[in-house]
Amino acid sequence: MPCTTVLVGKKATNDNSTMIARTDDGHFDVKKTIVVEPKDQKKKYKSVLSHVTIELPDNPMRYTASPSVDTSRGIWAATGINAANVGMTATETITSNPRVLSADPLVEYKKAKKRGEKDIPGGIGEEDMVVLVLPYIKTAREGVIRLGKLLETYGTYESNGIAFNDENEVWWLETIGGHHWMARRVPDDVCVINPNQFGMDGFDINDAFGAQKAHMCSADLKDFIEENDLDCNRRGVFNPRDIFGSHSDMDHIYNTPRAWFMGRYLAPYSYRWDGADSFGPESDNLPWSIRPDRKVTVEDVQYMLSSHYQGTEYDPYQKHDTGKRGIYRSIGINRTGVTSICQIRSGAADAIKGIEWICYGSTAFGAFVPIYTNVSKIPAYLGKVTLETSTENLYWGSRLIAALADSNFGTCVQQIERYQLAVATKGREIIRKYDKLMLDSGDYSLAEKANSEICDMARNETADTLGKVLSDASQHMKNGYNLADK
């Protein structure tokens, strides 16, 4: 799915936590957030789209997930944190090139063409990865290893980037063709920004084939590169983006502008982002990782993933059209299903290390709701979502607010900002309160009570904001008339 990913190492954050975050925005996918207990994890998994069948281990852990409500195309669990406090987000659809895809073709499902023949299963993809990996890993590194083995064994039918985090490390894995992959540990003091492109612009291949301290890859990657004449690098520099990625005109409209805006936000002083001799929104060499000019907070990640080029001439909501308004694909796009920030807090007790910040619908208008993840159930306001439009859950409440406020942005934006600030502030207040209560009492089952209190707050704030933007939209209907009727 077209998505945007942000990864933050522990020394780059204000509170020494690690964060992996992604907008899941391929289409208007109705989403919910649930807890999957070990008893509910199937022992034999079958993909709906690719028809591949995979035997799963006998020891799954509990984990959170944000699956599709309509399961006709599969689970699409998207993101979550497991009982070992390991987060995973899958997947960021990335780009490749014909040299790679012809040398190691994607493993696509092939239906039998005539009687007597058998269907040929495809590989694994975004539909499957969280369910196949997250319940079985105790560290971010283990996530890379397990997913890498699955890719080598079953292949994949799409090009994807996948992130893992635990309290100490963040790892990013990118697929290469049908069966190959490479992964890199995100340095502790940097922030990674990745739109829908092959992202890594540096890789220590000697480490990957040696100690594997911060780099891993498929076992035959060196031979694969050499045998297929894939190395486009010069002067001894190994840049995976030049070998495995793309440099297309479409990237300049769809992908690179997003990285430019996020980089501009994170490090406004360390790089040149505007004017001559600077990075621009269509630059092919935008850095994959950036050492931010100041420590990064959850709110910073929320802002980046909610952005629409505000403060630039590309903002689709600016009043004055300079000829460049809305020419680039926004990050906070209309068709987002769910956005999650998986935060693992190294300073917290094991039972409450994991906090997942959930936002549904277009992030430009939605609020991020924090929940403790080491729980046995998620409140109905997040977990019981129907395909029918309703104000009884956050998903549809968020979609309604966005649709109403979008066409009345100038008059509604203040209400949206107040809504987002209120949910973030009150959500943090409740987390702080229950962190202390649970630490003092030793009763970590209070996390479920905290989640209920947070969701009650979010329900009230969402209902209040929905009423305000509805009132504003009603006043600006095209069939309005200013002469008052008596």
- Please report the sign of the dihedral spanned by the C-alpha atoms of residue 194, residue 199, residue 205, residue 209: positive
If DSSP states are collapsed to H, E and C, what string results for 405-436? HHCCHHHHHHHHHHHHHHHHHHHHHHHHHHHH
Burial class of residue 115, CB neighbours in 10 A (0-12, 13-18, 19+): exposed
Q: What type of residue is 124?
A: I
Rg (CA), the chain: 23
CA distances from 145 to 141, 203, 218, 469 (A): 6, 17, 10, 47
Burial class of residue 475, CB neighbours in 10 A (0-12, 13-18, 19+): exposed
On whether the CB atoms of residues 402 and 391 are closer than 8 A, the answer is no
Catalytic residue among 3, 217, 342, 359: 3
Give the residue ranges of DSSP H helices in 317-407.
380-383, 394-406
Alpha-carbon distance of 355 to 431, in angstroms, equals 9
Burial class of residue 417, CB neighbours in 10 A (0-12, 13-18, 19+): exposed
Burial class of residue 236, CB neighbours in 10 A (0-12, 13-18, 19+): exposed
Alpha-carbon distance of 404 to 426, in angstroms, equals 24
- Please report the sign of the dihedral spanned by the C-alpha atoms of residue 269, residue 5, residue 23, residue 87: negative
Alpha-carbon distance of 216 to 153, in angstroms, equals 17
Opening angle at CA 69, ends 66 and 71, nearest 5: 105
Exposure of 23 in the CB half-sphere (CA atoms within 13 A): 31
Alpha-carbon distance of 57 to 142, in angstroms, equals 14
Q: Pick left, alpha or beta for residue 294 (phi over 0 → left; psi -120 to 50 → alpha; otherwise beta).
A: beta
Per the listing, tokens 């070998």 go with 243
Alpha-carbon distance of 63 to 82, in angstroms, equals 4
Does the annotation mark 3 as catalytic? yes
DSSP codes of every residue in 85-113 = S-EEEEEEE----HHHHHHS-----B--S
b/e burial code for range 436-474 (CB count within 10 A of at least 16 → b): eebeeeeebebbbbbbbbbbebbbebbeebbebbeebbe
| Positions marked active-site | 3
